[in-house]
Amino acid sequence: MPPAACTGKAGASHPSPSTSKSNAAPSPVGKSEINGTWLNGKWYEPPVSFQGLTKSFHASVHHSSAIYFKTNILTSTFVPNKILSRDAFKRFALDFLTFGNGYLEKRTSRTGQILQLTHALAKYVRRGRELDNYFFMNGWQQEHAFDKGAVFHLMDPDLNQEVYGVPQYLSALQSAWLNEAATLFRRKYYKNGSHAGFVLYMTDPAANIKDVDNLRQAMRDSKGPGNFRNLFMYAPNGNKDGIQILPVSDVAAKDEFFNIKGVTRDDVLAAHRVPPQLMGIMPNNTGGFGAIEPAARVFVRNELVPLQTQFLALNDWLGQEVVKFDEYTLGNMEGK
């Protein structure tokens, strides 16, 4: 019997982002997609859109960089062997940190000896009705059934179901998307060339209608991709305040942009539990973030060691030690 918490489609009363008719831009992962999973004939569908997680991976520089940072440290401390290569482990770790699920396929000889553990892309792996069956699907009606019991599945536990894992950073995705939206808006603002964030106020009687029309046309021509043009106005015998430039909201928009970038960055780093000084982030205050070495040691003890412990579950599944880590050291000033 399939798990009771996974037989029905959760959140069916809410429209999914892919079917919503709202004019708002759909989010890659919605609330209705993280409540449970449902059986789709042969396999269970994941509780979170893996396609959405893939798109969100590059939504924020701090989001993807934090995942790469953890993956690189795990890979650098991993001890490769003839069964599990360093490259396969790195792909396995990257999938686990991104999707909350990681898969390795066991390749055996005719005599039953383990030859190799190969990585299977978590984005396309699905768990079958019988939970020890796995399928690889890539496209419509393109599926491959793995041999029963040949796939090791490492997952971060979920509160709503026990078929798939979910990544621990889900609560920070809204901040990552807001960070991306602010960056895209700012980029489009500069790209379209519409930078006239002011009102040109003219009261000088020396200006005639022809000059005003010429100035209006010059301002229109100043807009466009890559245009940052200066305007010249000749007003003989004009008053000191006859022509004024009144800013509208450009300064406020800049301040809001930097506030959004800063707040969303802090949210993402808090979800990944990575100290900002380890990410190469420059502090905004004069005090800085503190010494980097103590922060690195705390990060290793509180984040890296628990992650390494999770990967040791592969040894229990195989019945032999294939995952082993060297001790993480910072080295000395000479780089030794």
Taking each helix axis as running N to C, give the angle between helix 61-77 and helix 173-191, from 0 to 180 degrees, rounded to the nearest 10.
Answer: 120
DSSP codes of every residue in 108-169: E-TTS-EEEEEEE-GGGEEEESSTT-EEEE-STT-EEEPPTT-EEEEE---SS-SSS---TT
Q: Which of 31-40, 103-112, 319-328 has the lowest mean pLDDT?
A: 31-40
pLDDT at position 236: 60
Confidence of residue 19 (pLDDT cuts 50, 70, 90): very low
Euclidean distance between the first and the last CA atom of the chain, given in angstroms as a whole number: 55
Confidence of residue 257 (pLDDT cuts 50, 70, 90): confident
Highest-pLDDT range among 23-32, 34-43, 132-141, 298-307: 298-307
Confidence of residue 314 (pLDDT cuts 50, 70, 90): very high
Q: What is the mean pLDDT of residues 236-246?
A: 64
Q: Is the pLDDT of residue 215 over 80?
A: no
pLDDT, one tens digit per residue, over 40-96 is 888 999 999 999 999 999 999 999 999 999 999 999 999 999 999 999 999 999 999
Q: Which of 116-125, 255-264, 327-336 has the lowest mean pLDDT?
A: 327-336
Query: What separation in angstroms does the CA of 79 have from each of 74, 83, 86, 245?
Result: 10, 11, 8, 65
**3 state DSSP class of 40:** strand
What secondary structure letter does DSSP report for 247? Answer: E
Asked whether the beta carbons of 135 and 125 are under 8 A apart, the reply is yes
pLDDT at position 234: 57
What secondary structure letter does DSSP report for 35? Answer: S
pTM over 0.85: no
Provide the residue count of the chain.
336
Q: How far apart are CA 180 and CA 187, in angstroms?
A: 10
Q: How far apart are CA 164 and CA 96, in angstroms?
A: 11
What's the half-sphere exposure (Cβ side, CA atoms, 13 Å) at 310? 18
Q: How far apart are CA 231 and CA 239, in angstroms?
A: 18
Q: What is the mean pLDDT of residues 192-213?
A: 63
Query: What separation in angstroms does the CA of 16 have from each of 22, 157, 285, 299?
Result: 11, 23, 42, 37
Q: Where are the alpha helices (DSSP H) in the chain?
A: 50-57, 61-77, 86-99, 173-191, 209-221, 250-272, 292-299, 305-311, 313-318
Strands 134-137 and 143-145: antiparallel
Q: How far apart are CA 68 and CA 33, in angstroms?
A: 25
